[in-house]
């Protein structure tokens, strides 16, 4: 278990679900299995989560919160590294997150489609997703301020494009199972139109 504090039952439940997701699909996972893995009673799960869908959703939110925290501490707070290095670190974090939580995010997306008319449903997850884009945009803004990226670059648009490139990379490798695209190639392609122009003469 990832959580070493036995009193933190909510986190133990989330950790148990994350372990089960690595080998089972949504319909194969039961709350009884989660309770057994977390070493808590099934009734304890309902003290923290409404149902199975809510449990999956809260795990997704927790993961996005952790991702945003890592982006902040490992990259945004590291002002010394060159923009290429910082973007590579960012891509490594995002690629690992996308790969490890692919099944979870697919399930959550399906739940979002079922509740698309409920504007409050999954609002917290949407906020965390938006914060990821904001954090990527902050890194790009820092690159603009140091002259490493174009002054006319829109940071948020660039963040969306970079994230989209990483998602496309993951989908290609997930569905085809071969022809891995190096993260360095993603950064090179992204910076081709974003690198600050060198002065002539």
155 Cα distance to chain centroid: 19
Taking the C-alpha atoms of residue 59 and residue 52, their distance in angstroms, rounded to an integer, is 11
Token pair in block for residue 76: 């945004």
Inside any domain, residue 11: yes
Q: Which residues contact 162 (CB under 8 A, 6 or more apart)?
A: 87, 91, 136, 140, 186, 190
Task: Tell me how far the alpha carbon of residue 133 is from its chain's centroid.
Answer: 10
Query: Are 114 and 174 in a shared domain?
Result: yes
Same domain, 109 and 16: no
Whether residue 42 lies inside any domain: the answer is: yes
pLDDT of residue 27: 85
Q: Are residues 129 and 177 in the same domain?
A: yes
Residue 45: helix, strand or coil by DSSP?
helix
- What is the domain-level CATH number for residue 10? 1.10.10.60
- The predicted pLDDT at position 5 comes to 53
Count of alpha carbons within 13 angstroms of residue 126, beta-carbon side: 9
Residues 183-192: what's their mean pLDDT? 86
Domain span holding position 58: 52-192
pLDDT at 103: 74
Task: Supply the pTM of this predicted model.
Answer: 0.79
For the stretch 59-73, pLDDT in tens is 888 888 989 999 999
pLDDT score at 81: 81
Residues 6+ positions from 18 with CB-CB distance below 8 Å: 2, 59, 104
* Together in a domain, 106 and 167: yes
Neighbours of 182 (CB within 10 A): 10
Asked whether residue 200 is domain-assigned, the answer is no
Domain assignment present for residue 199? The answer is no
Same domain, 70 and 144: yes
Identify the pLDDT of residue 201.
Answer: 44
Per-residue pLDDT tens digits for 86-108: 999 999 999 888 888 777 777 76
Binning the chain into helix, strand and coil, the percentages to the nearest 5 are: 70, 0, 30
Residue 42 burial by Cβ neighbours in a 10 Å radius (0-12, 13-18, 19+): middle
Angle between helices 183-192 and 83-100 (to 10 degrees): 130
* pLDDT at position 193 over 60: no
Q: How would residue 6 be classed by pLDDT, with cut points 50, 70 and 90? A: very low
CATH of residue 157: 1.10.357.10
User: Do 116 and 150 fall within a single domain?
Assistant: yes
For residue range 141-173, what is the model confidence (pLDDT) as tens digits?
999 999 999 899 999 999 999 999 998 888 877
């Amino acid at each position: 278990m990832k959580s070493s504090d036995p009193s933190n039952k909510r986190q133990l439940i989330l950790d148990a679900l994350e372990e089960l997701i690595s080998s089972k699909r949504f319909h194969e996972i039961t709350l009884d299995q989660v309770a057994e893995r977390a070493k808590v009673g099934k009734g304890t799960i309902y003290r923290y989560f409404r149902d199975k869908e809510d449990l999956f959703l809260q795990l997704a939110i927790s993961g996005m919160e952790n991702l945003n925290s890592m982006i902040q501490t490992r990259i945004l707070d590291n002002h010394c590294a060159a923009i290429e290095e910082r973007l590579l670190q960012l891509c490594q974090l995002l690629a690992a997150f996308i790969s490890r939580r692919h099944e979870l995010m697919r399930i959550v997306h399906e739940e979002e489609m079922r509740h698309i008319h409920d504007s409050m449903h999954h609002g917290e997850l949407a906020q965390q997703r938006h914060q990821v884009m904001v954090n990527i945009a902050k890194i790009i803004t820092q690159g603009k301020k140091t002259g490493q990226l174009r002054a006319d670059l829109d940071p948020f648009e660039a963040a969306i494009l970079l994230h989209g490139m990483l998602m496309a990379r993951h989908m290609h490798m997930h569905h085809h199972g071969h022809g891995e695209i190096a993260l360095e190639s993603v950064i090179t392609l992204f910076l081709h139109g974003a690198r600050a122009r060198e002065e002539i003469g």
